[in-house]
Amino acid sequence: MATAEDLQVKPKADVLLQTGPSRPPRNMGQIIRFLLLFAGGILMVMPIAFMISTSLKWPHEVYNLNFIPDEPTIENYIYVLEDGRFYWWFLNSLIIAVITTICSVIFDSLVGYTLCKFRFPGRYIVFIAILSTLMIPTEMLVIPWYLMSQQFGWLDTYWGIMFPGLMTAFGTFLMKQFFETVPDDFIEAARIDGLNELQIWWTVAMPLVRPALAALAIFVFLGNWTAFIWPLIVTNSVEMYTLPVGLSSFGDEADVAWELIMTGAAISTIPTLIVFLIFQRFIIRGVVMAGLKG
């Protein structure tokens, strides 16, 4: 999603390069910085450009690495959108990503808040234990997850796909750090005003870390929307596939239908754009400080 920002950097770099000759470069460092950002922007945009380009090609042209298709077509889009399975997968992914996002935003901030604002024995150990799970890659976890799902009969169910992501170590860490910025005075004042701890968390602490919640929501949504390995392993039936798993099944073993996969991928970026646009509104800084001092 960083692409949206990177795209904005490009015109800036252009302007600088154009005005370069007429005005002597005041600052070499600045030029280098722009060039690096420009290169970074290109790197980010390339795959997306190729994705769109490929989705507009006929199958025989897919392996020509030209940007502009010789005979552009929207056949692929029509094919994908007429294929009933696509809607299933899209819906599966949406349900899973939305529920997971809501759950992990709530659970991560609950746990983060507790670890940040309460003193209790073993608090540090719990925190370290949660953090240490960050060091284990998903690839290693899928086997125990699979065995567990098998035992409990969760294979090929929404619950089976979702359960590993309902709470995240990263989110817990992020929220704990952000709750540090909420002054204890706010919490104590609310306590004196008669709120219980859950109410304090919800009405006082949560609104003050809204930017962090928005960032976390974007991360979790994207992570789950694009998750591939675990959904691939835990699902069996085509109707339970998520979008990335479903798209990868286009074509047959001998011949992967890249143009269809890219078409599906292009369509599937739309919800991520929407989520980004919704939540980035909340990322406003300096909300906490306004209640303090003069």
Partner 1 sequence: MANLRIRDLVKTYDKTQVLHSINLDIDDGEFVVLVGPSGCGKSTTLRLVAGLEEVSNGTIEIAGRVVNNLEPKDRDIAMVFQNYAIYPHMTVRKNIGFGLRSSKASKAEKDKRLESVAELLGMTEYLDRKPSQLSGGQRQRVAIGRAMVRDPAVFLFDEPLSNLDAQLRTQMRLEIKKLHQRVGSTIVFVTHDQVEAMTMADRIVIMKDGDIHQIGTPAEVYHKPANIFVAQFIGAPSMNMIPGRVTGDGTIELATGGGLAFERSLPEGREIILGIRPEDLHPGQASGVIEGSVNVREPLGHETLIYVGTSNGDVIAKADGRTPPEIGETVQLGADPENLHIFDAATGEALA
105 vs 234 by CB, closer to partner 1: 105
Candidate residues 88, 158, 159, 186; the one interacting with partner 1 per rule CB under 8 A: 186
Contact flag: residue 293 with partner 1 (CB under 8 A): yes
Measured in whole angstroms, the distance separating CA 187 from the mean position of its chain's CA atoms is 31
Kindly tell me the burial class for residue 247, based on how many C-beta atoms sit within 10 Å of its own C-beta (0-12, 13-18, 19 or more): buried
Q: How far is CA 112 from CA 115, 116, 168, 186, 188, in A?
A: 5, 6, 11, 17, 18
Q: State which residue, 180 or 188, has the beta carbon closest to partner 1.
A: 188
Note whether 288 binds partner 1 by CB under 8 A: yes
CA distance 261 to 87: 14
φ, ψ for residue 195, nearest 5 deg: -85, 145
- Considering the rule CB under 8 A, would residue 198 count as an interface residue with partner 1? no
In whole angstroms, what is the distance from residue 225 CA to residue 51 CA? 17
CA dihedral 52, 54, 58, 60 (to 10 degrees): 180
**Closest CB to partner 1 among residues 46, 289:** 289
Place of tokens 């919490």: 187
Identity of the residue, 115 or 190, whose beta carbon is nearer to partner 1 in the bound complex = 190
Quick check: 28 binds partner 1 (CB under 8 A)? no
**Does 202 contact partner 1 by CB under 8 A?**
no
Assess 69 for contact with partner 1 (CB under 8 A).
no
Number of residues that bind partner 1 (CB under 8 A): 23
Among residues 125, 192, 198, 254, the one that binds partner 1 under rule CB under 8 A? 192
| CB of residue 106 to partner 1, shortest distance in Å | 18
- For partner 1, which is the closer residue by CB, 88 or 282? 282
Residue 213 as a binder of partner 1 (CB under 8 A): the answer is: no
Structure tokens at 178: 């952000």
The region of 18-26, 152-160, 182-190, 243-251 touching partner 1 under the rule CB under 8 A is: 182-190
Q: Name the residue nearer to partner 1 (CB basis): 21 or 194.
A: 194
Q: Is 191 in the site for partner 1 (CB under 8 A)?
A: yes
Residue closest to 33 by CA, chosen among 17, 46, 49: 17
* Separation of alpha carbons 1 and 287, rounded Å: 24
Q: Judged by CB under 8 A, does residue 10 bind partner 1?
A: no
- Binding partner 1 (rule: CB under 8 A), the pick from 56, 111, 190, 247 is 190
144 or 291: whose CB is closer to partner 1? 291
Is 5 or 180 the residue whose CB approaches partner 1 more closely?
Answer: 180
DSSP 36-98: HHHHHHHHHHHHHHHHHHHHTS-GGGTTS--SS-SS---HHHHHHHH-HHHHHHHHHHHHHHH
Provide the residue type at 116 as one letter.
Answer: C
| DSSP character at residue 236 | -
Applying CB under 8 A, the span of 37-45, 83-91, 148-156, 285-293 interacting with partner 1 comes to 285-293
Give the span between the Cα atoms of 282 and 276, in whole angstroms: 10
Q: Does 153 bind partner 1 (CB under 8 A)?
A: no
Gyration radius of the chain's alpha carbons: 24
Give the interface with partner 1 as residue ranges (CB under 8 A). 183, 185-186, 188-195, 204, 207-208, 210, 287-294
